[in-house]
Structure 1
Amino acid sequence: MAKVTIDVSLPAYKYKEMYQGSMKYLVARSRDGRMIQLPLSIFQRFVTHKGVYGAFEVEFDENKKLVKIDKIL
């Protein structure tokens, strides 16, 4: 399984705007330089009143399907 680390800085107003329909995916560059597209819904458990901020480890299976995402320190 492949893992990538991404840093997310998404203010609450932008997350809400995106989640309400204008966008359903977040495109991010991993720390190793790869571009990945992730559904916004996977960040729902990490949303605070300020938005989504932090470093996340994203794990994919051999078919590049999302397996899990965890917030890291």
Structure 2
Amino acid sequence: MADYYFSVDISQQQFLQYYRGNITSVMVNTECGRSMEIDASHFRSFVSAYGVVGRFRITLDNNNRLIDLEEVG
């Protein structure tokens, strides 16, 4: 398993594109320099009036499948 940290700042208006079906994934750059494409549905529980804003940790298994995504501050 591996943990990666990244920050996201997606406005509520931008994230509406997910609900409209115009986007399906979010591209992030981790703090260690790795680029990742994460299914936008994993961010649903983090949407607020400001959109999706914060620092996150993603945990992947040995096959790079998502185990957990959590906001860490």
Fold conserved (TM > 0.5)? yes
Q: Which stretches of structure 1, 4 residues or longer, exceed 4 Å deviation after superposition?
A: none
Secondary structure class of the residue paired with 1:42: helix
Q: Deviations over 1:20-65 (max 9, x none)?
A: 1111000110010000010111000000011000000000000000
Alpha-carbon RMSD: 0.7
Question: Identity across aligned pairs (percent)?
Answer: 25
Offset, 1:3 = 0.6
Distance in 1 between residues matched to 2:35 and 2:2, nearest whole Å: 14
Contact 1:58 1:68 (8 Å CA) reproduced = yes
Q: Which protein has the bigger helix share?
A: 1
CA distance in 1, matches of 2:19, 2:31: 25
TM-score (norm 1): 0.96
The structure that is strand-richer by fraction is: 1
Matched residue, 2:50: 50
Q: Which one is further off, 13-22 or 25-34? A: 13-22
Give the aligned length. 73
Equivalent position of 2:38 in the other structure: 38
Q: Which segments of 5 or more consecutive residues in structure 1 lack a partner in the other structure?
A: none
